[in-house]
Every structure is written in structure tokens, then in C-alpha cells.
Amino acid sequence: MPMSAAHARAFVRDQLAGSVAPDTLCTVELLVSELVTNAVLHTRTEIGVSVRLVDGTVHARVVDHEPRRGLVPRRRHPYTDTGRGLYLVERLASRYGADAGETTKAVWFELGPPVAPSAASAGWGPAVPCFGARRSVTLADLPWALCMAEQQHRHALLRELVLASATGEPLDIRPDDLEAAHDVSNVISACVAAAQEDQPADADVRTLTLSVPAHLTPALLALRRVLDRAEEATRFEALLTRPALPQLSALRRWMLDEIIGQFGGGAPTAWTVVPREPTASSLELRPWNREQIRASRFPTIAIDDRNQIIAANEAAADLVGWDDGDLVGRRLPVLIPEHLRERHLAAFTSLLLTGRPRILGRPVPVPALHRDGRLIPIRLLIQAQEMSDGRTVFVAQLLPRTAAPEPPSGDWPGELKESRAAALTEPPPPAESPPRPYEPGTREPGRDRSMSELARLSLLAESRRAGSEAEDLPQALREFGLLLTRRLADWCAVDLIDEHDEVERAIVVHHDPGASPAYEGALPPPSSPTRGPLARVLRGAGPLLLTGTPPMGQGESPLDARYAELSEQLGVGSAVVASLQAHREVLGALTVGRLGAQQPFMQDDVDLVGELARGLALQVANLRRFTRVRTIAQSLQHSLLPALPEIENLGLAARYVPSAITAQVGGDWYDGFALPDGGTAVVIGDVTGSDIDATATMSRLSSMLRGISVVCQEPPEEVLRHLDMANRTLPQEATGTCVYAVVKESGAGLCELSFSSAGHLPPLLTTQDGEARYLEDGGGLMLGTGFDLPRPGSRTLLPAHSTVLLYTDGLIERRGEPLDRGLERLREHAAALAHAPLEVFCDELLIRLGSDSTDDTAFIALRPTPP
């Protein structure tokens, strides 16, 4: 059987060679080969092939003996490895079709001169196979793009398993299980294809009622066993098919559980309410929308599966020193430092080939490469989104994080200078047409827009969820507007009042992506003669039901005129405008409109828009408050981070990453400065607390420590004793931990490290030969205990090119894990990076250990580098 396709191709060549053009012969060979392969895979019966030439037209026919199994044409998917046979016939043949008798089924095509459109195709016929008694199964809220991707991947796995088993490599899978799994997979795909025929073509989420043969439970269990074994084989590269991404595996498990469960009498469970695994939720595909990137105030870029930048907003371009138009079309490594490019390519390739996400959905602290060669500390957050054609887009936010000022670009090591020069001179690849972004579908004029009570509740719940997932206010408003234009209205607008009582049109969203863009920006103030609907709502009235364009009187105000222009430009049959009020404050207005051909809004819709406006107002208030706190916190933290000195024969590097779940500041700090006696002091500390108060306390302690160190010039243990005494003079005595260390040159080209610890984690010493150990001596009580006890100190010689790391607990502590495990993990990573340059050493530690932390993370590293 596996050689059937080859025999069929030879038969076609023998019959047609010399009678048709070479191109025609190749096309017939290809199509016959695809149809025979389908018959081999899906029927496992004897196969007959006939081909003849009549009046310049080639007639080909492939016959099998399984008429119950109808053909299931599949939507072509960019990631598919199989399932293109019928698609090729549709694209290349002049006519095609399928005929089923009592004992046989024939699939045929003709290849010849073009035919009239009415006779171009007889079609494939019904896709649902006839297998006796059937039962109904409901798949609620099925994400369609994800469903198609899962189907393609499932068929690719099973096809490869069938072919491998025919060659004697079954991968420990029982032949009867494989046959049952292959057959039931085809039945499921056929049932899904039949059930979706009456669904809107542009629906992203569909609820399907499948008519499934009633006796499939044993075969479904076999399918689950076979797919689990196949997935395991793909991860060890035992198969050519790529492993499934986590969201595909999660959807597959849900579909099988739903069919089996409903066969047993269970109720349907919607995909949208199924609990997600952490790796699946981070890769949950959302529709790709280019406008969301442009509207985001956070620096955001998007790359495709070829590692090419396909979109970037102005904030991202400004952050890295490029124009947004210049970034589009370049490869992502243009923004990645040289010492991290190999790591990026390995991780990106691993994601595509193994399906194992390493950083998706997690904020990862890394440096970005500026166009002028500087390294910019950022927190990278990547999410996967789905394009309308099924391809995956990776959307990355480059969130700036506070860090110590960096040296000028001329002071970086030679290899980094070269990487920056290469990045600046790297030409963009040949221009390619960008992928078409996802856009909501166009509605039919006059469509019934009435909503049931359940649909209203669903819209309210979904509106709260859409806003809560947004990273900033423009993105939240954009998602809210897209939702309303899909479910409720033809267009919507949001006008906001800022802290200076000025009115700004934040967004205008239309359901038709081809509609003329409406004005967004500053609006005239609502002055005293303003009596229009928008002005009334901005004063707290409403919600108001409008019919047609708002009437204008002789003394209309500029704000009234601008509102009338919006209604006239977008077209209004009816509209509702509602006030955005939260915490007894009017924040703006929400307007939703329907075109004249649509069903007008009724009083129930007015109440619904009022509820939507109240929910949106709370989101606007919360996002504004969060943005203010974050801005203040980032400015405060940036002002407190020191610039490390440049010391001859001593390398210094430090990193700080604030907590991702607090106000972006905390009590962690580091410091490094030169002492008058020729030594260099390095400090790491952690004040109790994770808020702005802890930051203020940390600032006082770090200032006192620097002053005591410079004036006293005593051993580290005495400096910490003085600091603890000075701490008692503060209005509220601080509690915290600290390590104070001094590095001085010793004889024979070595350096001596003397240090004392006030209850802090022990320093880590890593030698150039890869040996890493903790310096356990010199530990004493933490600051602020009230006990006046002697503090121990410790001294050790540092080998040349060794690295001493002082760090806070955010680098090692993980919830539910012993501290010793975190210390051992840090020691292993430091030992593996012993030969890396100091900046690379710090960046790699931050990438490997800093992205999993929910606490502030700070560390400072020093490395003696004798001439």
C-alpha cells in the first residue's frame, strides 16, 4: 500500500507520455498521487486508477471500496504539513467531483481547456460520513482559528504515524489503535466541517452542534492514547511533524473530553470557562490587530514566524532610536545585543520546533540595543496572537525599567562595539507585503440587532474582561470599542476629561475597517452655552437616546458642532450617549451609534449602554490611578539608583528590576563608590517592605552608609555597627539586611575582599575555572533589632578574573521552594557563566533567574582584572 502512489504516477506516465504537454503530464501525476495517497490513508481498501485523453482533455478517476467515508476538504493553513490534496485538485483541475455507489466511491478530475464558471466544478458532495445512529455534541465557544490549527496538526501526526507503521516503525503503538485513531480523527473533522457550514464566515468564536456517530467512545479513547504517544515522540524528534504548541494540546484535550463526556450524559462546558494551565494561558491566541499596537502608549513591536518585525509603534521606535517605518521589515536581532543574539535565536527556534514556551507570557528583564549603541534596560513581555490566515504573530512590549546610568558607548568592550556597528549597517531584507491584519467583519444592512437577556449579560461580562487584560488606557479603550462594534453598534466613540478639565476624543472605532477615519484628539471645552447631548452628558446627565444627527441651533457651541460632525460623518440612525462616572467624578462620555438601515436602539439598549459606561468608567479610573502611581514610582526609583564608578583594574556591574506586582519600587538597593584610602566599597541591602515608604527608608540608610564609610574609613564590621546606631535616630527605626564590602589591592597582583553582613544572604565567589562557593563567614544580626552586639567580619583573597556577586532575595527565592534550592540554582548558573564578560554575566543571570521572581531583584558584581 505505501507504494501505491508511486505505482499510480508510473501508470499515468505510461498512459499519457507523448500525448500531452510535459507540464500537463506533471500536473496529472501530482493530482493522481495526492488522491491515491488519500485513499491509502483513509480507506485501506483496494484502489483503482483510470486515466484517458478525450479531445485534449485528461479524465482521471481514483476508485476505492469505502463509499461511507465522504471527502472532507480542509481549509488551507500556513503551518499544515498535510491535507492539501483536495485543495490542489480544486486549484489545478478544470472540473472535479466525487461519485458514491453502493460498494465503491470514485474521486475524479478533468484537466483541459478552461470551462464556463457554471460547469467548473461538480463539488465534493456531502462531507459527513454515514455510520448509523448518531448523537448530538455541542462544542461551545470554539475558537475557530485555533480549531483549524489543531485539526491540521492532528492530521499531520496521524498521517506520519500511518506511513511510519507501514514501513515497520510503529513507535510502540498498537496497529488497531492507530487504525481506530486515524478513522475517528477523520470523522471528527468531517462532523466539524458539516456543523460550521451555517456559521458566519468571519466569526472568530463559534458554537457548533456536531452530529457524531454514537459508537465512537472506544475509538476516541484510542485517539487520545495515540496522540499522547505521538506528542511524546515529536518532542524527542522521533517524528518530522513539529510538536503542538500548548494551546493546541489544551484545545485537543478539551474537544475529546467534551465528546466523551456528552456521550456519557454530561452537560457541555464552554472553552471560554475551562481553567487553563500556565503554559497554555500564556499562549492563548487572541486576534491580531495592528491598530492596537499603534494605539498602545507602551513601546510595542510585532514579529512574525520568520523573526521579522512587521509592526512597531512610535513609542518603541523612540525607545530604541529608530523611526517606526525603518524598523518594519528588519530582523529582530537588530534590537538585541550581540551577546544575547545566539540565545534569542535558540529560544525562538525551540519555540517553533518543540512547542515549549520559555518566556512567552512572562516579563523578562533584558537589555535592548539602541541605534547609537547604548544598552537600554527593559522588561520584555511577549504574547502570541493569531492572524486571520492562521499564522502566529508575536507581540512584544518593551517596558522600560529603571537602572543605573550606563557608560558612554565608547567605553564598552570591543565585541559589543562591533555588534552595534553591525546592527547599524545591517540592511533591511527585501520589501515584502505585510500580512493583512485581523479586522472585524462587515455586517449586513438591516440585520436584526435585538439581544436576549443572556446575550446582554454576556456582553457586560466580556466588556469587563476585555478592559482588565489591557496594559494601558488606550489599549483598553480600543478593545472595548472593538467589542461593542462586533456585538452592539456600528461605531462607538469615547471622549475623556483630563486632569486639566480639557476634553479629548480618545478613540473612534467603526465596524467597517474601510470606513473613513474620524477625528481623534482635543475637543473644544464644554462652555456655558453648550447645550448639546455630549455637553449634557459630560455634566453628568444621561444616558440619552438620540435619533439621527443631533439638531443644531443658531448659537451652537464649538463642542456641539464637533459632535454633530462626528454623527454626520459616521452616519446615525440612532445613538446612545452615556456619562462615564466613577467615584462621584465625571471622567468622560461613551457614544454608540447604529446606521440608518439598522434596527434603532430601544430603551432596553439605553439601560445596557449605561451599565457598559459604568463598567468602563471604573476601568478608566483604575488605569489612570495605576499610571500615575507607576510614573511617580519609576521617577523616584530612577533618581535613587547610583552611577557606578570606573575603577582601574576592577570591573563593576549592577542590575535592578522592580517587582512586577507592586508599585514598581521597593526596599532593595545597591551602591558602589571609591573610598579616600584607595579601596572600593560595594553594598547590597534590602529594607523590609515593598512600597514607596520602603524606598524612602532605603534612601536614608544608603545615604548614611555612604557618609559613614567615607568619614570613618574603618573595617566593614565597624561601619555596619555605626550604621545600626545611626538607624536608631530615625523617626521610625528601619529593619533590613545589608552586606558592606571593601576591595583593596593586595600583594602579588591579587585583591583582598573584606566584608560584613547584617543578616543578608552570603556573597557568592566564582573563580575563572568555574568553581563557585558562598562566603559564609562574616554574618551578624540584621539592622534594626535593637541589640548592640559585636559584628563579625571576614576577609578573603580574590583570584584574578574571579567574580563576587552581592544580591537580594528576589534573585533566588521562589514561593513554595526551600531557600537552599534557590541558592544552589544561583551557584550553578554563576559557575556556568564564569568565562562570560561581566556585563554578559549580569544579563544572563537576570534572564535566567529574574523573570520568575515576584519580588524586587538587585545585585552588584565585581571582578578584579589585573593588567
Transcribe 398-451 into DSSP letters: EEE---PPPPPGGGS-HHHHHHHHHHHHPPPPPP-PPPPPP-PPPPPTT-----
Give the pLDDT score at 65. 87
In the predicted model, is pLDDT for residue 597 greater than 80? no
CATH for 358: 3.30.450.20
Give the pLDDT score at 61. 93
User: Is there a domain that residue 635 lies in?
Assistant: no
Instruction: State whether 337 and 221 are in the same domain.
Output: no
Q: How far apart are CA 344 and CA 349, in angstroms?
A: 8
> Measuring CA to CA, how many Å separate 849 from each of 359, 373, 654, 671?
12, 26, 15, 21
The answer to whether 28 touches 51, Cβ cutoff 8 Å, is: yes
**237-246, 333-342, 825-834 — which one is most confidently predicted on average?**
825-834
| Boundary (domain end) residue, out of 596, 630, 664 | 630
| Boundary (domain end) residue, out of 630, 663, 680 | 630
User: pLDDT tens for residues 176-227?
Assistant: 888 888 888 888 888 888 888 777 766 777 889 998 888 888 889 999 999 9
Q: Tally the C-alpha atoms within 13 A of residue 421's C-alpha that lie toward its C-beta.
A: 8
In the predicted model, is pLDDT for residue 335 greater than 60? yes
Instruction: State whether 47 and 158 are in the same domain.
Output: no
Average pLDDT, the chain: 80
Which residues constitute the domain of residue 153? 134-275
In the predicted model, is pLDDT for residue 355 greater than 70? no
Across-strand partners of 380?
Answer: 364, 398
Residue with cell 463509499: 67
CB atoms within 10 A of CB 96: 22
Query: Coil, helix or strand for 57?
Result: strand
Burial class (CB in 10 A: 0-12, 13-18, 19+), 720: buried
Burial class (CB in 10 A: 0-12, 13-18, 19+), 436: exposed
The answer to whether 250 touches 280, Cβ cutoff 8 Å, is: yes
Q: How far does CA 381 lie from the centroid of its chain?
A: 7
Read off the C-alpha cell for 66.
469505502
Strand bridging mode 736-745 / 680-687:
antiparallel
The answer to whether 43 touches 51, Cβ cutoff 8 Å, is: no
Q: Tally the C-alpha atoms within 13 A of residue 856's C-alpha that lie toward its C-beta.
A: 29
**pTM of structure:** 0.55
Residue with cell 583593596: 744
Instruction: State whether 363 and 227 are in the same domain.
Output: no
Cα-only R_g, the chain: 33
Instruction: State whether 541 and 584 are in the same domain.
Output: yes
| Boundary (domain end) residue, out of 599, 630, 661 | 630
Read off the C-alpha cell for 715.
573595617
The reply to whether omega before 762 is within 30° of 0 (cis) is: no
Instruction: State whether 165 and 247 are in the same domain.
Output: yes
Instruction: State whether 696 and 790 are in the same domain.
Output: yes
Backbone angles phi, psi at 725, to 5 degrees: -70, -40
Across-strand partners of 586?
Answer: 581
Structurally, the chain folds into a number of domains equal to 5
Q: How far apart are CA 404 and CA 643, in angstroms?
A: 5
Q: How far apart are CA 13 and CA 7, in angstroms?
A: 10
Backbone angles phi, psi at 469, to 5 degrees: -85, -10
Instruction: State whether 715 and 777 are in the same domain.
Output: yes
The answer to whether 224 touches 153, Cβ cutoff 8 Å, is: no
CA torsion through residues 72, 74, 79, 82, sign = positive
Higher-confidence position of 312 and 518: 312
Instruction: State whether 318 and 222 are in the same domain.
Output: no
In the predicted model, is pLDDT for residue 424 greater than 60? no
Instruction: State whether 290 and 258 are in the same domain.
Output: no
Give the pLDDT score at 445. 40
Give the pLDDT score at 775. 95
Instruction: State whether 670 and 813 are in the same domain.
Output: yes
In the predicted model, is pLDDT for residue 677 greater than 60? yes
In the predicted model, is pLDDT for residue 416 greater than 70? no
Q: How far apart are CA 41 and CA 50, in angstroms?
A: 19
Question: 728 CB contacts (<8 Å, ≥6 apart)?
Answer: 786
Instruction: State whether 387 and 528 are in the same domain.
Output: no
Instruction: State whether 533 and 662 are in the same domain.
Output: no
Q: How far apart are CA 90 and CA 31, in angstroms?
A: 10
Q: How far apart are CA 231 and CA 229, in angstroms?
A: 6
